[in-house]
């Protein structure tokens, strides 16, 4: 072997662990970001069973005080929770952010629209799921307020109409390029499908946009991008 062609100083990129539930709408946001950044080879997955309430048990709460998924663990033992924070970290790894914005203007618009998508769609559907449906079952849903849940369902439908108006005048949620804001809306519509909350028939622009998004490899292959390893939590 010719040693002149070997870079003895090269180091293998550090591995990261993502604790999630493969089909969850919030984990989907980070899985899509991983695929968009082609970082799948640097990640191992640890499965946290939502239906068994593993995300609310002391072992997992030691990793994430909020008891939510997903959580990113770095090789030095640092834990990063919250989808936006994890996406920010992943997007900065290669020094060329594409999901969170390149310019100050892009960054501002993307963060604004991603936050609106969380408040008006994704989080509203989450409240509806946990309060006005059986949710994750009686062992996990220890308190429910159905009236509040249905109000949040209606808020989510209003949010869909808002996003439809946005997408009537531009190709992506925050402007001309695919971004973290689009990923947040995708997560919301994945959740809407899980709770059988259809996009209103009059929201043609939102429906057409979502059909396009579902053809992106990062979205289509989000569950099967890698086999989750059974990592204890």
Domain containing residue 132: CATH number: 1.20.1050.10
Q: Which residue has the higher pLDDT, 225 or 227?
A: 225
Residue 228 belongs to a domain: no
- Please tell me whether residues 84 and 141 are part of one structural domain: no
Q: Residue 5 domain-assigned? A: no
Question: SS3 string of the chain?
Answer: CCHHHCCCCCCCCCCEEEEECCCCHHHHHHHHHHHHCCCHHHEEEEECCHHHCHHHCHHHHCCCCCCCCCEEECCCCCEEECHHHHHHHHHHCCCCCCCCCCCHHHHHHHHHHHHHHHHHHHHHHHHHHHHHCCCCCCCCCCCCCHHHHHHHHHHHHHHHHHHHHHHCCCCECCECCCCHHHHHHHHHHHHHHHCCCCCCCCCHHHHHHHHHHCCCHHHHCCCCCCCCECCCC
Instruction: Over range 17-30, report the average pLDDT.
Output: 96
Q: Is residue 62 part of a domain?
A: yes
Residue 41 domain-assigned (yes or no): yes
In a domain, 11, yes or no: no
- Could you tell me if 185 and 94 lie in one domain? no
Summary mean pLDDT of the chain: 92
Q: Please give the pLDDT value at position 223.
A: 86
Last residue of a domain, one of 48, 80, 98: 98
Tens of pLDDT, residue by residue over 58-116, are 999 999 999 999 999 999 999 999 999 999 999 999 888 999 999 999 999 999 999 99
Q: Is 224 inside a domain boundary?
A: no
Range of the domain at 170: 104-216
Give the per-residue pLDDT at 102. 94
Q: What's the structural domain count of the chain?
A: 2
Domain boundary among the residues 98, 118, 148 is at 98
Pair 174, 119 in one domain = yes
- Judgement on whether residues 94 and 118 belong to the same structural domain of the protein: no
81 plus 141 within the same structural domain: no
- Enter the pTM of the model: 0.90
pLDDT, one tens digit per residue, over 194-203 is: 999 999 999 9
Q: Are residues 120 and 32 in the same domain?
A: no
Q: What pLDDT does 5 receive? A: 53
């Amino acid at each position: 072997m010719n040693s002149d062609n070997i870079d003895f100083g090269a180091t293998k990129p550090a591995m990261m662990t993502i604790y999630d539930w493969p089909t969850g709408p919030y984990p989907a946001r980070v899985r899509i970001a991983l695929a968009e950044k082609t970082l799948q080879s640097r990640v191992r997955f640890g499965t946290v069973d939502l239906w068994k309430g593993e995300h609310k048990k002391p072992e997992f709460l030691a990793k994430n005080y909020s008891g939510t998924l997903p959580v990113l663990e770095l090789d030095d033992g640092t834990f990063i929770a919250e989808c936006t924070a994890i996406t920010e970290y992943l997007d900065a790894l290669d020094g060329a952010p594409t999901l969170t914005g390149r310019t100050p203007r892009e960054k501002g618009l993307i963060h604004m629209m991603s936050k609106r998508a969380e408040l008006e769609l994704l989080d509203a559907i989450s409240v509806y799921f946990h309060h006005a449906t059986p949710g994750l079952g009686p062992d996990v849903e220890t308190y429910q307020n159905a009236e509040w849940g249905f109000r949040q369902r209606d808020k989510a439908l209003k949010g869909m109409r808002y996003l439809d108006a946005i997408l009537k005048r531009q190709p992506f949620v925050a402007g001309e390029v695919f971004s973290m804001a689009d990923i947040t809306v995708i997560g919301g519509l994945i959740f809407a499908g899980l709770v059988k909350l259809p996009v209103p028939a009059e929201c043609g622009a939102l429906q057409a946009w979502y059909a396009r998004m579902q053809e992106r490899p990062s979205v289509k292959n989000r569950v099967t991008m890698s086999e989750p390893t059974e990592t204890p939590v």
